[in-house]
Amino acid sequence: MDTLPRPRVLVADDDADIRDLVEFKLQQAGYDVVCVGDGLEAWDVFVSDPPHAMVLDVMMPGLSGIDVLLKIREHQQVHVPVLMLSARARDVDVDAGFAVGADDYVVKPFSPRELVHRVNGILGRPRR
């Protein structure tokens, strides 16, 4: 298995604790992880080197996760699966996330284990 290149996941969240948790957990699950702290950086990384999947916080300084996702869906032909990770738990917020093209939506506080399953899910990877 390890001879295959590890899928790259871009994680954008302004909270360092969450970044570290997600990075750590995804690495354990066999992903290459790139972390950024705001939406602008996320967009820059996306443009320069598109990842295989993204985990986006919704409320970030600069560009919000929704904005980043909008830009991605507008400008790119390739479909990069995106998982929104947000403290906004209301139905309308979840609806808004899916409406702009999220593939999945996880509410904070989150279960790291569940997050990995869902990232696997959006990448169409079988369970470990």
Partner 1 sequence: MTIGGFVAVAGPGLAAASLLMACAIVGLKLHRTLRERAGERRVAPLRAAVLLVATGEDTDDGAMLATLAGVRGRARRDLDDLVVRLLGKVRGEAAEQLVDLLRTHGVLDRAARDATSWSAVRRERALHLIGRCRDWRGTDVAIAALEDRSPRVRAQAARTVGRIGDPRAARPLLHALRLEGIHVGDAAEALVGLGHDAGEALLWALAEGSPRARTVAAHLCGVGGVRAAAPLLVELVEQDDDLTVASAAVTALGKVGRPQDVGAIAAATVHFHPQQLRRAATQALGEIGLAQAVPVLVRLLADPTSQVAEAAARSLLGLGAVGRAALVGHAHLPAAGAELTHARLTGVAV
Partner 2 sequence: MTWPEVHDVGNAVLTAFFGVTAPVVFAYFLLINTSYLVLVVLAAGGFRRHMREKETRRDLTAGEMAPGVSVIVPAYNEETLIVTSVRALLALRYPQHEVVVVDDGSTDGMLAALVEAFDLVPLPARATGEIPVRAQVTGTLVPRNGHTRLLVVTKTNSGRSEAINTGINAAREPIIAIIDADSILEPDALIRVTQPFIDDPNRVVGAGGTVRAVNGSTVTAGRLVRLRMPRSWLARAQVMEYLRSFLIGRTGWASIGTLLLISGAFGVYRRDVVIAAGGLDPDSIGEDFELCLRVHRMMRDAGREYRMVFVPEPVCWTEVPSTTAVLRRQRSRWHRGLWETLWAYRGMLFRRRYGRVGWLGLPYYWAFELFAPVLEIVGLVVVPLGLLFGAVNVKYALLLLAVSYGYAVVVTFAAMSVEEWAFHRYDRWRDLVVAVAATVFENVGYRQMTVWWRLEGWWASLRGRQQVWGVMTRAGFEEGTT
The answer to whether residues 30 and 69 touch, using CB atoms and an 8 Å cutoff, is: no
User: Near partner 2 by CB under 8 A, which window of 1-9, 22-30, 57-65, 112-120?
Assistant: 57-65
**Minimum gap (Å) between residue 29 Cβ and partner 1:** 10
Partner touching 76 among partner 1, partner 2, none, CB below 5 to 8 Å by kind: none
d(CA 47, CA 127): 29
* CA dist., res. 67 & res. 48, Å (int): 18
With respect to partner 1, which residue has the nearer C-beta, 44 or 114?
Answer: 114
Alpha-carbon gap, residue 112 to 116, rounded angstroms: 6
Contacted by 123, from partner 2, partner 1, none: CB < 5 to 8 Å by type: none
Positions in the binding site for partner 1 (CB under 8 A)? 15, 17-18, 20-21, 24-25, 28, 108-114
Pairing of strands 32-36, 53-57: unpaired
Q: Is 90 in the site for partner 2 (CB under 8 A)?
A: yes
Q: Is residue 108 a contact point for partner 2 (CB under 8 A)?
A: yes
Nearer to partner 2, 61 or 114 (CB): 61
Among 13, 67, 103, 104, binds partner 2 (CB under 8 A): 67
Sign of CA dihedral 63, 66, 68, 74: negative
Cα dihedral 35→33→110→126 (10° resolution):
160
